[in-house]
């Protein structure tokens, strides 16, 4: 007890000494007192306004509506031009036509002559297209490698679609924010603007086929109405070898044509009926990526010997479609039965008469597998008698073309009714064209192109036109300065899938920008998971306008730290699209806006100082809409706009006025920092490396106290430091963490310390970066102080009897004697002490969920498969956790698979400043003291080292996969259908087809 009391007093002394030293260094080098004084001087000329969230989200929706409308109009002009060009064209099987092939342009043969379909094609680098070399006057055509690029169908299609070149150019002149525009032909060729050269991959091939791309399955929805589909697969004994392979590929290709507005099920039949997924007996599921992949995995298990009972399978399919339609849960539009078989011994007219005639609401599409045609007549009759289409598939090469034919049939009502529904995709990752630019998130607006020739009533689908919209462009419309530090904007589709959200993570292995394997769309409920009843999600799906509030756990620093806050949500629909947009504002300083006022002359003078920078991804002035403005920096554009020299620039005058105020109020720091930097003796050991400042308008100032090449962390405050700079969807990490601390409290991580300053609302944060060695040295110096008159300390952190740690409020170690432990979570090093701190309430454990995680799975051998459930380890999308055993490494293959995980985060209890405790380690009592460092988020922990507590398990932050093992739970997950808003357009029938 005496030892513990003495230790407690010593720790309090050390903590006070260290806290005072760090506070002094921070104040000195950050210039915080000077900045606070400047704010105080201007306090009477500023005002604070509460943000009207409803008004904010409605104004944002109008801006987004206008942006989307321009893209849709550009696409509609392409549709009109394509259909007119095709209408005027007469197919000529002997047509000879030279076109610019995307792969062959600028290629020469051995003699130096241009290769056929190549030719000289002018290309110039363009920063609007990721610095790719493009031709803004012409498009290029890409033909899949498995197709003959001079096939008459290809040549005729390329010939008439040349008419799109003029429209491509005109669209780009009208809206310079457009990027790629294109026409994907049902014949397989792909016309793209602007023209760009395509290069083979590392294997020397180009595997691109616009009809096979994941995004093309989304575009197909532009051609057909939403549909309910039952796929019947013959798995009888005759379906083997090549037929079996073709059948599998046919089913997979049918699934590729289904999208999120469609519903489906698969029934295999031989001597009896088998549901591919038994738990989905008698129902349909949405055709999202997860469900389609689930069915693909299970389909292979059902091929067996027996006689096919097609009649029973058809009866079951009609029953499902009828029952499901009556519930109103499906598409409530078109219905179809796809039949994949190698024959039918009869026509089953009695089944059709009972379930489908005379209305013929369900179309039948038989696919005859194999070269034999003995049963072709029966299958043709089924198709014709039920408004469908018959196809025979003899080889794998025939699959794609034949499967796509059903789309022509189902699109006929639309073309006859002259309906061109606009389709908007959810967010998807695209990197097909240029891997060097890295994958990026896109949405696409697409419309179908139909044949309108009078001599045919077939309603033939010619292809799809579309244009990509980088979601980064959407982010530019967001007034980030109005949202506060933790506020954000998000948008979802009619199916509840995220279009944009700061927590959407389609990529992993940061820096490499690799696309997640099997990436599928993410539902809003998977990121706003605290809303257990989907109140927010369902209101937005149903396109309502309203508000919602809840407590949330906001993670920062790649999920390692958590901030608890209360969010208010405001939402409304975006007219003319299937999207809804929401704004989240955190209560407190996040609900208020700070307004200051200075003269334009003074603001521009201080804004142009060399230490000033503006957030790269914020839009102060829109320099994209006119070509002559694209070379301007944001600061140059602001100057031209505010001085009246470019009045037509579209600028946010309110934001500019605030950033000018920030430039003026922070200007004195530049001279102050320069003075410190010139006085070498002030920083003789070069412990302080950088001082920096950020404001809520995205303005930042920095000053180096050492040469750039001597910085410990050279990425800090650069574009490479994604979390440390102002981005379109977040404030810097250091700014966020400063905002959540008490006024004047320092916030530290391993190498950085900063101070927040408040005038009712948080208006700026300043800080310094110092060397870790310098920081640690200050800590150890403080820990050697004592109250002994003779200067001889009976206890200090140098003693072998105690272990000293400096940890932050999330439990991460900043300083310890063992350098290898720096940066680790304290519970991994001192599990017994951390458990005691949790029991005593000094720290709290918070359970978080990640529904976008990736799990590392080892497979490839019988042994590894058997052990899989025991040794599977997790990797979230942002950090690697421990790998599996070396046995599995050597025997199996590593696979990354999507999974759901839960993981803990830890946060200190702010009201507890100091704690002492004892731990019983198998009869030996171990003591510890934890003391808060004054005016900071740091804690000193001193642990008695006399007892061995290594047997106590560590407290880790490792994620644990949520295993849906119980069949009933797994089945419920498959059956459960979240709310969705059905597309308003539906064209299932027409009297003529």
Neighbours of 209 (CB within 10 A): 19
Residue 755 and residue 623 share a domain: yes
Structure-block tokens of residue 750: 């391993």
What is d(CA 803, CA 784) in angstroms, rounded to the nearest whole number?
13
**SS3 state at 858:** strand
pLDDT digits (tens, 9 = 90+) for 101-153: 999 999 988 888 889 998 899 999 998 888 899 999 999 999 988 788 999 99
Residue 508 in any domain: the answer is no
Residue 225 and residue 180 share a domain: no
What is d(CA 829, CA 255) in angstroms, rounded to the nearest whole number?
50
pLDDT digits (tens, 9 = 90+) for 916-931: 888 888 888 888 999 9
What is d(CA 68, CA 577) in angstroms, rounded to the nearest whole number?
8
The closest alpha carbon to 284, from 260, 262, 302, belongs to: 262
Residue 799 and residue 942 share a domain: yes
Select from 348, 376, 394 the last residue of a domain: 394
Residue 577 pLDDT greater than 90, yes or no: yes
Structure-block tokens of residue 492: 């979802």
pLDDT of residue 182: 92
pLDDT of residue 223: 65
Residue 907 pLDDT greater than 90, yes or no: yes
Residue 482 in any domain: the answer is no
Strands of 587-629, DSSP E: 592-595, 612-614, 621-622
Residue 541 in any domain: the answer is no
Residue 986 in any domain: the answer is no
The number of distinct structural domains making up the chain is 4
Residue 116 and residue 227 share a domain: no
Residue 439 and residue 328 share a domain: no
Between the alpha carbon of residue 473 and those of residues 378, 504, 636, 961, the distances in Å are 54, 16, 21, 35
Least confident of 112-121, 209-218, 796-805, 818-827: 209-218
pLDDT of residue 791: 57
Residue 121 and residue 42 share a domain: no
Confidence class of residue 362 from pLDDT cuts 50, 70 and 90?
very high
Confidence class of residue 425 from pLDDT cuts 50, 70 and 90?
confident
Confidence class of residue 862 from pLDDT cuts 50, 70 and 90?
very low
Residue 319 and residue 184 share a domain: no
**SS3 state at 153:** helix
Select from 354, 379, 394 the last residue of a domain: 394
Q: What is the mean pLDDT of residues 92-100?
A: 93
Count of alpha carbons within 13 angstroms of residue 266, beta-carbon side? 28
Of 473-482, 655-664, 974-983, highest mean pLDDT: 655-664
Confidence class of residue 883 from pLDDT cuts 50, 70 and 90?
very low
pLDDT of residue 219: 59
pLDDT, mean over the chain: 83
What is d(CA 316, CA 547) in angstroms, rounded to the nearest whole number?
45
Q: What is the mean pLDDT of residues 615-637?
A: 87
> In the chain, what percentage of residues exceed pLDDT 70?
86
The closest alpha carbon to 821, from 776, 769, 877, belongs to: 776
Residue 855 pLDDT greater than 90, yes or no: no
Select from 747, 772, 797 the last residue of a domain: 772
Ordered strands of the 843-859 beta sheet: 873-875, 843-859, 893-908, 960-961
Residue 138 and residue 43 share a domain: no
Helices (H), 783-910: 826-829, 831-840, 862-871, 886-891
Percent helix, strand, coil in the chain (nearest 5)? 35, 25, 40
Of 192-196, 687-691, 726-730, 866-870, highest mean pLDDT: 192-196
Q: Which residue has the higher pLDDT, 509 or 282?
A: 282
Least confident of 156-160, 303-307, 783-787, 945-949: 303-307
Peptide bond into 700 cis (omega under 30): no
List Cβ neighbours of 633 (8 Å cut-off, separation of 6 or more): none
List Cβ neighbours of 533 (8 Å cut-off, separation of 6 or more): none
Residue 872's φ and ψ, nearest 5 degrees, are -65, 130
Residue 764 and residue 660 share a domain: yes
Structure-block tokens of residue 629: 């403005």
Q: What is the mean pLDDT of residues 352-363?
A: 94
pLDDT of residue 788: 56
Least confident of 309-323, 371-385, 475-489, 869-883: 869-883
What is d(CA 537, CA 979) in angstroms, rounded to the nearest whole number?
8
Residue 746 CA from chain centroid, whole number: 33
Of 337-341, 481-485, 491-495, 975-979, highest mean pLDDT: 337-341
Residue 974 pLDDT greater than 80, yes or no: no
Ordered strands of the 761-770 beta sheet: 612-614, 699-704, 688-695, 761-770, 752-759, 747-748
Residue 900 in any domain: the answer is yes
Give the relative orientation of helices 32-41 and 2-30 as an angle to the nearest 10 degrees.
60
**SS3 state at 469:** strand
Confidence class of residue 979 from pLDDT cuts 50, 70 and 90?
confident
pLDDT of residue 890: 36
**SS3 state at 691:** strand
Structure-block tokens of residue 330: 């499906």
Structure-block tokens of residue 448: 């179908």
Question: Are 854 and 913 a contacting pair, CB within 8 Å?
Answer: no
Q: Which residue has the higher pLDDT, 950 or 881?
A: 950
pLDDT of residue 519: 54
Residue 60 in any domain: the answer is no
Structure-block tokens of residue 374: 């003995």
Give the relative orientation of helices 32-41 and 668-678 as an angle to the nearest 10 degrees.
160
pLDDT of residue 714: 80
The closest alpha carbon to 86, from 152, 151, 150, 156, belongs to: 156
Q: Which CATH number fits the domain that encloses residue 321?
A: 3.40.50.410
The boundaries of the domain holding residue 431 are 70-125+132-146+160-201+421-470
Confidence class of residue 327 from pLDDT cuts 50, 70 and 90?
confident
pLDDT of residue 858: 59
pLDDT of residue 387: 94
pLDDT digits (tens, 9 = 90+) for 244-300: 889 999 999 999 888 888 999 999 998 888 888 888 899 999 888 778 888 887 776
Residue 663 and residue 599 share a domain: yes
pLDDT of residue 783: 85
What is d(CA 597, CA 164) in angstroms, rounded to the nearest whole number?
51
> In the chain, what percentage of residues exceed pLDDT 90?
41
Count Cβ atoms within 10 A of the Cβ of residue 428 and give its class: 0-12 exposed, 13-18 middle, 19 or more buried. Answer: buried
Q: How far apart are the first and last CA of the chain?
A: 92
pLDDT of residue 631: 84
pLDDT digits (tens, 9 = 90+) for 3-60: 566 678 888 888 999 999 988 988 888 888 888 888 888 877 788 888 899 999 999 9
Q: Which residue has the higher pLDDT, 745 or 669?
A: 669
Residue 828 pLDDT greater than 90, yes or no: yes
Residue 982 in any domain: the answer is no
Count of alpha carbons within 13 angstroms of residue 116, beta-carbon side? 4
pLDDT of residue 753: 44
Residue 781 and residue 748 share a domain: no
Q: What is the mean pLDDT of residues 157-174?
A: 96
List Cβ neighbours of 532 (8 Å cut-off, separation of 6 or more): none
Residue 558 in any domain: the answer is no
Residue 638 and residue 600 share a domain: yes
Residue 578 pLDDT greater than 80, yes or no: yes
Burial readout 395-406 (b: 16 or more C-beta within 10 A, e: otherwise): eeebbbebbbbb
Question: Are 930 and 919 a contacting pair, CB within 8 Å?
Answer: no
pLDDT digits (tens, 9 = 90+) for 867-882: 223 323 333 333 333 3
What is d(CA 677, CA 799) in angstroms, rounded to the nearest whole number?
38
**SS3 state at 492:** strand
């Amino acid at each position: 007890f005496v030892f513990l009391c003495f230790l407690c007093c010593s720790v309090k002394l050390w903590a006070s000494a260290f806290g005072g030293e760090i506070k002094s260094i921070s104040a000195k080098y950050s210039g915080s007192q000077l900045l606070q004084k400047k704010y105080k001087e201007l306090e009477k000329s500023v005002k604070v306004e509460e943000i009207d969230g409803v008004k904010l989200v409605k104004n944002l929706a109008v801006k987004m509506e206008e942006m989307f409308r321009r893209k849709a109009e550009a696409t509609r002009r392409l549709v009109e031009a394509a259909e007119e060009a095709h209408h005027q064209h007469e197919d000529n099987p002997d047509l000879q036509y030279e076109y610019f092939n995307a792969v062959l342009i600028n290629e020469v043969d051995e003699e130096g002559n241009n290769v056929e379909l190549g030719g000289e094609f002018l290309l110039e680098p363009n920063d609007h297209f990721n610095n790719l070399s493009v031709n803004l006057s012409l498009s290029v055509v890409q033909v899949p490698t498995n197709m003959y690029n001079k096939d008459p169908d290809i040549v005729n299609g390329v010939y008439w679609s040349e008419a799109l070149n003029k429209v491509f150019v005109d669209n780009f002149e009208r809206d310079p924010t457009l990027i790629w525009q294109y026409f994907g032909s049902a014949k397989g060729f792909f016309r793209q603007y602007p023209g760009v050269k395509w290069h083979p991959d590392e294997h020397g091939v180009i595997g691109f086929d616009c009809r096979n791309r994941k995004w093309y399955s989304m575009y197909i929805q532009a051609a057909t109405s939403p549909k309910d589909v039952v796929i019947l697969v013959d798995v009888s004994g005759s379906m083997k070898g090549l037929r079996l392979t073709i059948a599998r590929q046919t089913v997979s290709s049918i699934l590729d044509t289904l999208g999120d507005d469609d519903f489906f099920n698969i029934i295999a039949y031989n001597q009896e009926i088998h549901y591919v997924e038994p738990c989905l007996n008698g129902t349909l599921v949405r055709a999202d990526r997860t469900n389609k992949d689930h069915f693909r995995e299970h389909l292979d298990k059902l091929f067996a010997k027996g006689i096919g009972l097609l009649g029973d399978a058809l009866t079951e399919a009609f029953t499902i479609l009828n029952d499901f339609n009556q519930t109103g849960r499906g598409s409530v539009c078109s219905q179809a039965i796809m039949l994949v078989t190698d024959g039918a011994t009869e026509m089953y007219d009695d089944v059709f008469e009972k379930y489908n005639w005379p209305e013929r609401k369900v179309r039948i599409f038989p696919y005859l597998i194999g070269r034999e045609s003995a049963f072709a007549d029966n299958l043709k009759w089924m198709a014709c008698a039920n408004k469908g289409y018959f196809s025979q598939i003899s080889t794998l090469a025939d699959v794609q073309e034949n499967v796509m034919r059903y789309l022509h049939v189902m699109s006929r009502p639309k073309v006859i009714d002259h309906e061109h529904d606009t389709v908007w995709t959810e967010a998807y990752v695209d990197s097909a064209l240029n891997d060097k630019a890295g994958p990026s998130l896109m949405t696409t607006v697409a419309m179908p192109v139909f044949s309108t020739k009078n001599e045919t009533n077939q309603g033939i689908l010619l292809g799809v036109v579309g244009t990509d919209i980088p979601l980064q462009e959407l982010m530019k419309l967001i007034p980030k300065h109005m949202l506060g530090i933790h506020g954000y904007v998000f948008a979802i589709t009619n199916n509840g899938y995220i279009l944009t959200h700061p927590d959407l993570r389609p990529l992993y292995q940061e820096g490499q920008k690799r696309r997640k394997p099997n990436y599928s769309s993410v539902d809003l409920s998977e990121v706003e998971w605290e809303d257990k009843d989907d109140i927010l999600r369902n209101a937005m799906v149903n396109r309502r306008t309203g508000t919602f509030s809840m407590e949330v756990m906001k993670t920062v620093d790649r999920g390692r730290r958590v901030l608890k806050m209360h969010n208010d949500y405001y939402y409304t629909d975006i007219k003319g699209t299937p999207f809804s947009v929401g704004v989240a504002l955190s209560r407190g300083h996040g609900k208020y806006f700070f307004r200051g006022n200075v003269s334009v002359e003074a603001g521009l003078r201080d804004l142009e100082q060399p230490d000033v920078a503006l957030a790269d991804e914020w839009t102060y002035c829109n320099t994209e809409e006119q070509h002559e403005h694209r070379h301007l920096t944001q600061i140059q554009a602001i100057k031209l706009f505010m001085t009246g020299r470019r009045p037509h620039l579209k600028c946010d005058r309110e934001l500019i006025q605030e950033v000018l105020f920030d430039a003026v109020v922070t200007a004195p720091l530049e001279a102050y920092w320069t003075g410190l930097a010139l006085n070498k003796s002030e920083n003789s050991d070069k412990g302080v490396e950088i001082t920096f400042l950020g404001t809520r308008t995205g303005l930042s100032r920095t000053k180096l106290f050492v040469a750039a090449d001597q910085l410990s962390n050279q990425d800090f405050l650069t574009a490479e430091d994604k979390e440390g700079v102002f981005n379109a969807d977040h404030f810097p990490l250091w700014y966020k963490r400063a905002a959540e601390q008490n006024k004047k409290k320092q916030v530290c991580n391993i190498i950085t310390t900063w101070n927040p300053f408040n005038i009712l609302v948080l208006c700026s944060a300043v800080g310094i970066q110092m060397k870790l060695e310098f920081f640690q040295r200050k800590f150890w110096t403080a820990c050697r102080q004592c109250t002994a008159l003779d200067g001889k300390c009976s206890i200090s952190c140098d003693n072998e009897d105690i272990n000293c740690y400096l940890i932050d409020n999330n439990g991460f170690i900043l300083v310890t004697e063992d350098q290898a432990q720096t940066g680790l979570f304290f519970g991994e090093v001192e599990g017994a002490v951390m458990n005691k701190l949790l029991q005593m309430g000094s720290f709290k454990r918070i359970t978080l969920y990640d529904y976008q995680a990736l799990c590392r799975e080892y497979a490839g051998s019988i042994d590894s498969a058997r052990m899989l459930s025991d040794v599977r380890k997790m990797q979230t999308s942002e950090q690697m956790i421990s790998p599996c055993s070396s046995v599995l490494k050597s025997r199996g293959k590593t696979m990354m698979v999507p999974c759901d995980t839960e993981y803990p985060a830890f946060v200190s209890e702010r009201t507890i400043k100091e704690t002492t405790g004892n731990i019983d380690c198998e009869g030996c009592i171990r003591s510890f003291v934890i003391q808060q460092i004054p005016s900071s988020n740091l804690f000193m922990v001193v642990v008695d080292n006399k007892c061995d507590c290594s047997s106590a398990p560590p407290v880790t932050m490792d994620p644990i996969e949520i295993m849906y093992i119980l069949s009933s739970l797994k089945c419920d997950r498959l059956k459960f259908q979240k709310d969705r808003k059905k597309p308003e357009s539906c064209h299932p029938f027409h009297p003529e087809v």
